[in-house]
Amino acid sequence: MVHETKAVAQVIRDISKALAERDPYFAMYTIPTTTPGKTHYVILDETIFNALTELVVVGYSMDSDLMDKTRILSQIKSTVYSFLEKRRAEFNKKHGKNSCSSSAKDFKDELTRNPNFRQNRIETFEDESQLFHDDRDSYVPNFYNM
Which pLDDT does position 17 carry in this prediction? 95
pTM of the model: 0.76
| Torsional sign, CA 20, 111, 79, 10 | negative
Contacts 24+ apart (CB under 8 A), 101-106: 101/40, 101/41, 102/138, 102/139, 102/140, 103/28, 103/132, 103/138, 103/139, 103/140, 103/141, 104/27, 104/28, 104/40, 104/41, 104/42, 105/40, 106/140, 106/141, 106/143
pLDDT, average across residues 66-76: 93
Q: Give the range among 1-10, 27-36, 117-126 with minimum mean pLDDT.
A: 117-126
Give the residue numbers spanning the domain of 44.
Answer: 2-145
Which pLDDT does position 3 carry in this prediction? 66
Which pLDDT does position 120 carry in this prediction? 52
Which pLDDT does position 92 carry in this prediction? 92
Which pLDDT does position 31 carry in this prediction? 93
**Number of structural domains, the chain?**
1
